Structure 1
Amino acid sequence: MEIAVKNIINYFVKKPARLFLVDSIGAALTAFLLFFVLRQFQDHFGIPTWVLIYLSLIGLIFCLYSLTCFLLLKGNWTPFLMLIALGNLLYCVLTLVCMYTYIEELTKLGGIYFLLEIATVLAIVFVEFRVAAALKNDKKLSSG
C-alpha cells in the first residue's frame, strides 16, 4: 500500500497539472451528484435541499478553479495546490458540520454517501499536500 501511495505521489510530482485535472473531475462529479441526484431524492438522504445546492456550488467553484489551473498553469504549482488542498479540507469540515447539524434528519444512506465523499476528498487532499511539499523541496534543491 505504501509503495502504491508513493507511486501515485511521484506520478503527480512529475505531472502536477494532471492532479488539477483529477481534482476538477472529482469536484464536477460532486457538484453533479449533489445538485442533480441528491437534491432530487433529498428525502432519502436527509440533508435539506438548500444545503445540497450550496455544497454543489462549492463543488462547481472548485471544479472551475482546478480546471483553470490545469489549462493555464505552466509552473509554480505549489501555492495553487496548497490552495485547493486547503479548500478541499474546509469542504470536508463543512460537510461534517452539515451532517452534525442535520443528524436527526440524516438517513443511513445520506451518512454513507457523505462519509464516502469525505474519505475520497481527504485522500485527494493528502496527495495534493504531499505533491506540493515534494515540488517545494525540488524547487529548493534546484535553486540552492
Structure 2
Amino acid sequence: MHKDWTNRLPAELPSPLALAYLGDAAYELWVRRFLIDAGLVKVKDLHRLAVELVRAPSQVELLRWLEPQLSEEEMEWVRRGRNANSNRCPKSTDVATYRLATGFECLIGYWTLTCPDKLELLQTYFESRLGNNRQ
C-alpha cells in the first residue's frame, strides 16, 4: 500500500536525494511513454531520443523553461535537490549541470508524490519542443 504524500509538511517528505532518485525513474518513464505515444516504434529511435531527453543538459534546459511557472515551494525543492551532496558526478557532464539536473529530478519526485497533475507541464514542454506527432 502506498502512503498518501499530499498535504505533507516538507519535513515529512523523503530527503531531496530520495526524491531525486524517484524523480529520475519517473521522468525516464514519462519520456519513454511520451515517445511511444508520439508514434515512435523503432527501438533504436526510441532509445536515442530517450537518452538525449534524460541527459543532464536536457533536464537543465527543461528546468529553465519550468522555472517561471514554479511556486516558491517548488523552487525550494529544486534548491534542496541541487544542494544535496550525492558525492558523484558522471564524466559526461560538469558538476554545476549535474547538480541542477539533480534539482530537476528532486522536483519531479516531489510532484510524483504530492501533485502528479503538475507533470502535465512536461507534456506542454515536449509538445512545444518536439511537436505533437501523435496519430
TM-score band (shorter)? 0.3 to 0.5
Given the two structures, how large is their TM-score scaled by the length of structure 1? 0.34
Given the two structures, how large is their TM-score scaled by the length of structure 2? 0.35
Higher relative contact order, structure no. (Cα contacts within 8 Å, ≥ 6 residues apart): 2
Which structure carries more helix by proportion?
1
